[in-house]
Amino acid sequence: MASPPITSTSALVIIDLQNEFLDSKGNFPISDEIRPSLLANLTSLIPRFRESDGHIIWVQAIYENRDTEPEVMAAKDKGDGIVGNNTWLVAATHVFSVPCCEDKTWGSKIYPEVLALSVKEDVVVFKQGYSAYWNDNKGLSTAFKDKGITDAYFCGVASGTCVLATIIDTVQHGEVIVHAVPDCMGWRRANTHVEAVRRFEELGVDVITSDQI
């Protein structure tokens, strides 16, 4: 599938580029191996996307500090895969003894180097689960509708959890054509990224690199 040119009906959806994941002092930092290229590619892509009249949507995780799984998550079987099956991923949220992206904490804030690339016209969507649609969250759908988006390009962290979960849900909602940009995604373990890309392809989304946009 050939990717269409970026226009005013295109959106770059940037997921969870927060201190908790991008800063090495965060509770769940991405691999040092991927951080430099992720930041370099985003620093190039975001301004280019905006210059072509595309919209930027920042998705920001705000998680409760849970020690038990919510009912919707507990009802799903994770399966044996390294990142969990698709049904489980879209039902999942952060449940662990170590908190992650709690509201009004340093970890929940957008990483400064990335925040510098934002402008006031950008859209911000908050989420409480791995998927931006978790718990019937309509923030992303509303952003797509309000901006007249037909094509959405997904990037961010982590590729095998929140990015994958949001892409799965976006495909299921059928509101936009979905594109995945793996070289603008971060991960904690390389094998989860490999699996995420395989899932993107399995879902039939357009998988491209940032220099193809």
Question: Which amino acid appears at position 77 of this protein?
Answer: D
Beta-bridge partners for 50: none
The answer to whether 152 and 144 are in contact (CB under 8 A) is yes
Question: What integer pLDDT is reported at residue 148 of this predicted model?
Answer: 98
Q: What is the pLDDT of residues 9-31, one digit of tens each?
A: 999 999 999 999 999 999 999 99
Q: What is the pLDDT of residues 25-74, one digit of tens each?
A: 999 999 999 999 999 999 999 999 999 999 999 999 999 999 899 999 99
CB neighbour list of residue 96: distance below 8 Å, 6 or more residues apart: none
Q: Are β-strands 55-61 and 123-127 bridged in parallel, bridged antiparallel, or unpaired?
A: parallel
Place 2 in a pLDDT band, splitting at 50, 70 and 90. Answer: low
Q: Are β-strands 10-15 and 55-61 bridged in parallel, bridged antiparallel, or unpaired?
A: parallel
Mean pLDDT of 124-150: 98
Question: What integer pLDDT is reported at residue 1 of this predicted model?
Answer: 53
CB neighbour list of residue 181: distance below 8 Å, 6 or more residues apart: 45, 153, 154, 155, 208, 209, 210, 213
% residues pLDDT > 90 (the chain):
97
Nearest to 166 by CA among 62, 54, 6, 13: 13
Question: What integer pLDDT is reported at residue 195 of this predicted model?
Answer: 97
pLDDT at 81 over 90: no
CB neighbour list of residue 25: distance below 8 Å, 6 or more residues apart: 19
Mean pLDDT of 169-184: 98
Determine the Cα–Cα distance for residues 26 and 191; give it in Å rounded to an integer: 21
Determine the Cα–Cα distance for residues 92 and 72; give it in Å rounded to an integer: 8
Q: What is the pLDDT of residues 82-127, one digit of tens each?
A: 999 999 999 999 999 999 999 999 999 999 999 999 999 999 999 9
